[in-house]
Structure 1
Amino acid sequence: MTEVFGPGWGNYAIRGIIETSLPEPVSLVPETPGWWLLLGLIVGSVAWGAWVRWQRFLRNAYRREAQAALASVEARVKGGDKDCLRELAPLLRATALAAVDSSNRDSIAALRGKDWEEMLHQLAPRLAPLPVATLNALAYGPLSHTPDKIDGLFEQLREWITVHERANESANKGAHD
C-alpha cells in the first residue's frame, strides 16, 4: 500500500501522539434512594391526576349524552319536524335526575310546576330560571302554538346542561378539584 500523503504533509507537532481512551459513559440510573422516591412521587401524582380526570369524565357522561340528544332534537326541528319538541321536557328531567343522588331521585321526580322550576334553578343558580311552563306546553300542548323564539330555548337548555352542578358537587368541589 502506498502512502497517500508524503512524509512532509500535515502537522508535524501531532505526529506520534497516542490518543487517550474515553471514560466509561455516565449512567443515568439514579444511585441514591431519594431520586427513586422522587420518581415514585412523580409517577404517583401523574397516575392520581389521570384517575381524577377519568372519574370526572365518567361523572359527566350524562351531560355529553344530553347535549347530543339536544343537538339531535334541534337538528330535527330545523329540518321541519316539530313533533320532536315534545322530547325537550323529558330530556331536561332525565338530565336533572342524573345530576342528583339516587336517594333523592324519587322525591325530585315527583316535583311539578314552580317546585320543579326552583329545583332546576338551585342546580344552576347563576343562570336565569328555565321556562318550565314553555317546555310543558311544548311537551303536552298542541304544537300549532309553537313559540317563535325556539332557538333561545335551545340555547338556554344547552347552557343549563353545561353549567349546572350536581347536587353533591358544590360541597365536594374543593376536596376533589
Structure 2
Amino acid sequence: MMNGASDPLSDLRDIHLPDPVSFWPPALGWWIALILVMGLIPLSIWAFRKFRTPKALRTARHELQGLRESYAANQQDHTLTIGVSRLLRRYAIAVYGRERVAGLTGEKWLTFLNEKGQTNQFTDGTGRVLVSVPYGSHEPVQGQELIAAVEHWLQGNRRPKP
C-alpha cells in the first residue's frame, strides 16, 4: 500500500441514472397524429351523414327543393303538380322497383302512395290533385301543403319496406 494515499475507488461517484423521460411535450410524430385524428373526425362525420342517406333520396330532396323554389317564384300550380308527380313516380320506381310501381295509375297510384307513406294525404287530402291536374284539370292546388306531403312521404320511404 502506498503511504498517505487513500483508497482510489472512494473518490468515484455512484452511477447516475438519466432524468426520467417526460411525457410533455410530445414528440413531433404525436403532434402529427393528433392533427390527423382531429381532421378525420369531422370528415368521418360528414361522410357518415352523406352516405347514410341513399342517393335516390338525396336526389329527390334536391329536386323537391328546386320545385319548391320554382313554385315560390312563379306560383304555377300545373307545373308544380307535374313536377311532383314525376318526382314521386321516379323515386317510387327507384325504391320499390319498376315492376311494382310503373303500372299504377289513378286511385291505385294514390292508394300505393298512402300505404307506403302511412298517410291519407293522397287519396283524401292535398295529394289527390296528382291524378287530375297533370292531365288538364284546373283544380286549385295548395302548393305548400302538397310539397309538405311529398316531403313527408319521401322521409318515410328511405328504404323499401317488405
**TM > 0.5 between the two?**
yes
State the match for 1:73 in structure 2.
67
Distance 2:79 2:16 in 1: 85
SS of the aligned residue for 1:79 comes to: helix
Q: Indicate which of 103, 122, 126 corresponds to 1:110.
A: 103
Report the alpha carbon displacement of residue 71 of structure 1 after superposing the two structures with TM. 1.1
Aligned residues: 122
Quick one: which amino acid aligns to residue 111 of structure 1? Answer: L
State the match for 1:136 in structure 2.
131
State the match for 1:150 in structure 2.
143
Equivalent pair of 1:121/1:129 in contact (CA under 8 Å): yes
Quick one: which amino acid aligns to residue 135 of structure 1? Answer: L
Deviations 1:42-71 (A, max 9, x none): xxxxxxxx8xx86x9276111111111111
SS of the aligned residue for 1:84 comes to: helix
Report the alpha carbon displacement of residue 88 of structure 1 after superposing the two structures with TM. 1.4
Report the alpha carbon displacement of residue 24 of structure 1 after superposing the two structures with TM. 7.3
Q: Any residues of structure 2 matched to 1:25-36 within 5 Å, and which?
A: none
Quick one: which amino acid aligns to residue 109 of structure 1? Answer: A
* Gaps in structure 1 of 5+ consecutive residues: 1-15, 27-49, 172-177
Distance 1:23 1:57 in 2: 48
Distance 1:57 1:158 in 2: 19
Quick one: which amino acid aligns to residue 61 of structure 1? Answer: K
Distance 1:81 1:152 in 2: 13
* Gaps in structure 2 of 5+ consecutive residues: 1-12, 24-43
Distance 1:132 1:119 in 2: 12
Q: CA RMSD in A?
A: 3.3
Quick one: which amino acid aligns to residue 136 of structure 1? Answer: V
**Structure 1: 4+ residue segments shifted above 3 A:** 16-20, 22-26
Report the alpha carbon displacement of residue 146 of structure 1 after superposing the two structures with TM. 3.2
Report the alpha carbon displacement of residue 164 of structure 1 after superposing the two structures with TM. 1.8
Quick one: which amino acid aligns to residue 94 of structure 2? Answer: A
TM-score, length of structure 1 as denominator length: 0.55
SS of the aligned residue for 1:110 comes to: coil
SS of the aligned residue for 1:117 comes to: helix
Quick one: which amino acid aligns to residue 115 of structure 2? Answer: Q
Distance 1:79 1:88 in 2: 16
Cα distance change of structure 1 residues 24 and 69 upon mapping to structure 2, 3 Å threshold = closer
Report the alpha carbon displacement of residue 23 of structure 1 after superposing the two structures with TM. 5.8
Distance 2:143 2:111 in 1: 22
Cα distance change of structure 1 residues 25 and 75 upon mapping to structure 2, 3 Å threshold = closer
Q: Any residues of structure 2 matched to 1:94-105 within 5 Å, and which?
A: 94-100=90-96, 102=97, 105=98
